[in-house]
Amino acid sequence: MMDYRITINEEDKVTKVQQIANQMIQDIEKGILKRNAQVASINEFSRAHHVARETVEKAYKILRKDGYLVSVPGKGNFVEKGPGSMVKILMILNKMSPYKKEVYEAFIEELGDRAQVHLEIHHYNPKIFRDIIHDNQGKYHYYVIMPHFYSGTDENEYLDVLKSISPNELVILDKEINLKGAFISVFQDFEMDIFEAMDKNAGLFAKYKSISVIFPENNHHPFEITSGVKKFCDHFEKDFDVLSDINQVEISKGKCFITLTEIDLATLIKKLRATNFIQGIDVGIVSFNETVFKELLEITVVSTDFSAMGSRAAKMIIDKKFKQVRNSFNFIKRASL
């Protein structure tokens, strides 16, 4: 008999009977509970999960009625059905950008015809996120979530929502989240990613005395990016600052700028072209996240591998590998540095 546990939410409006039945149905359809596997007896389940014997008995009755369990006299209860032919997945992104589109398309491609994926956007708003989960609880086998929210959002606003999802149904993308249980996560370590990328290419930054991060106000990028750049500057004794308004930036020789948005990058290039300084020689430019626009303009880029993030998360769902892994990160050297 396998060691199998579910999560019962005492505050959920759904009865404990239905919670037990729903989670076991989900796990049978996902293949976590395999066909012909023996499940815990009513008494064993009752003791392990601290619920009344009558509650477990009613849940098992539902499962037998719906054909998910079969009772063998003198032996116990066994899983009757195999996994469903189509896994149902809800992907919830903070926004749909070219980068998120890469994640989504790689995720879909890796899954192939194994799954049906629905997409929702929470627009950085924890209240919209809460409503999406509330309206879809129990309807999907997996919930794939990018938990990026407004700057200043209380972590508990979205952590409480994430905790309401069974860990073996949860897939976290892009951001590292500290939660209990065995769940899937493919995350960026924003501080170490930028630091390691710059450190491995330190020679390219040698001609610049100072490095400035253009970090506009009301921006949803993680502040850990600036921490990583500052760590690099401290290590190599370079001046460092964070600038919120691109229009107030002064171009001077020996400066390197790191931009996070395309509008700031475009404005910076325009300002640089109004001077006599040469891009990549007198003034350096590095941008966050790859686009065709940056490739055409020969802009050096530091970027997580978004396609790898999507395909790796999908593969972990297929292989049922419930663990947290750091995503690969790229440094693309071009003429701007």
Which pair of structure tokens corresponds to residue 218? Answer: 């009301």
Between strands 87-93 and 115-121, the pairing is: parallel
Query: What is the DSSP track for 179-245?
Result: -SS--EEEEE-HHHHHHHHHHHTGGGGTT-SEEEEE--TT--S-THHHHHHHHHHHHTT-EEEEES-
As a whole number of Å, the CA-based R_g of the chain is: 25
Domains with residue ranges and CATH for the chain: 16-79 (1.10.10.10), 87-188+306-328 (3.40.50.2300), 191-304 (3.40.50.2300)
Per DSSP, what are the bridge partners of residue 211? 240, 256
Instruction: Write out the DSSP string of 44-68.
Output: HHHHHHT--HHHHHHHHHHHHHTTS
Partner residues linked to 87 by β-bridges:
115
Distances (CA, A) of 284 to 105, 115, 221: 33, 45, 21
Element holding 43 (H helix, E strand): helix 42-49
| pLDDT values of the chain reduced to their tens digit, one per residue, 337 residues | 667 888 888 888 889 999 999 989 888 888 888 889 999 999 999 999 999 999 999 999 999 998 899 999 999 999 987 666 578 999 999 999 888 999 999 999 999 988 999 999 999 999 999 999 999 988 899 999 999 998 888 999 999 999 999 898 999 999 999 998 899 999 999 999 999 999 999 999 999 999 999 999 877 788 899 999 999 999 999 999 999 999 999 999 999 999 999 999 999 999 999 999 999 999 999 999 988 899 999 999 999 999 999 999 999 999 989 999 999 999 999 999 9
Q: Which two tokens stand for residue 296?
A: 């055409």
* Per-residue pLDDT at 114: 87
- Among 147, 154, 161, which Cα is nearest to 95's? 147
Q: What is the pLDDT of residue 103?
A: 97
Rounded Cα gap, residues 47 and 41, in angstroms: 10
**Cα torsion angle, 198, 214, 145, 126, sign:** positive
